[in-house]
């Protein structure tokens, strides 16, 4: 999930290592062990957001590579570009629901939202993704 969120292997590795460290240090504060996975994802999302805030990325144009339409990675690049076109709150629920296999209830708990809010965001995220796909 960190890789999808940050779009960079090095940053994703940083976020994951910071998440593991934070979880290890705060493991005693986890009140209900059955929610460990949700707790872990919530911490990871916050670490990713922290990294994005800290680094405010800019990529030099000479580092960007052009992917040809017939190359094997093209579909993935297009998918990630469409995903990036969505607002962060919609992208996160899509990644958790489809990418990580979380239920709506687990997402609500991980993001500290109401179940109805998560359902609404999923619906809007799907619609936004569809519009972005059709526009392309």
- Please tell me whether residues 6 and 53 are part of one structural domain: yes
Q: What is the DSSP letter of 98?
A: I
pLDDT at 57 over 70: no
| Whether 10 contacts 105, CB under 8 Å | no
pLDDT at 63 over 60: no
Q: Report if residue 128 sits inside a domain.
A: yes
Q: Report if residue 124 sits inside a domain.
A: yes
| Whether 57 contacts 7, CB under 8 Å | no
- Please tell me whether residues 133 and 91 are part of one structural domain: yes
Structural domain containing residue 3: 1-59
CA distance 101 to 81: 21
pLDDT at 119 over 90: yes
C-alpha triplet 66, 69, 74: angle, nearest 5°: 75
Q: How many domains does the chain have?
A: 2
Three-class DSSP category at 48: helix
Tens-place pLDDT, residues 16-39 = 999 999 999 988 888 888 889 889
Q: Report if residue 67 sits inside a domain.
A: no
Kindly report the average pLDDT of the chain as a whole number. 82
């Amino acid at each position: 999930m960190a890789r999808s969120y940050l779009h960079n292997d090095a940053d994703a590795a940083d976020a994951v290592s910071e998440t593991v460290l934070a979880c290890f240090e705060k493991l005693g504060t986890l009140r209900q062990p059955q929610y460990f996975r949700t707790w872990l994802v919530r911490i990871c999302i916050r670490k990713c957001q922290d990294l994005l805030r800290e680094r405010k990325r800019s990529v030099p144009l000479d580092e960007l590579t052009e992917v040809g339409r017939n190359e094997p990675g093209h579909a993935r690049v297009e998918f990630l570009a469409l995903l990036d076109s969505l607002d962060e709150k919609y992208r996160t629920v899509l990644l958790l629901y489809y990418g990580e296999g979380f239920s709506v209830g687990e997402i609500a708990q991980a993001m500290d939202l109401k179940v109805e809010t998560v359902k609404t965001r999923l619906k809007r995220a799907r619609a936004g993704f569809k519009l972005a796909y059709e526009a392309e």
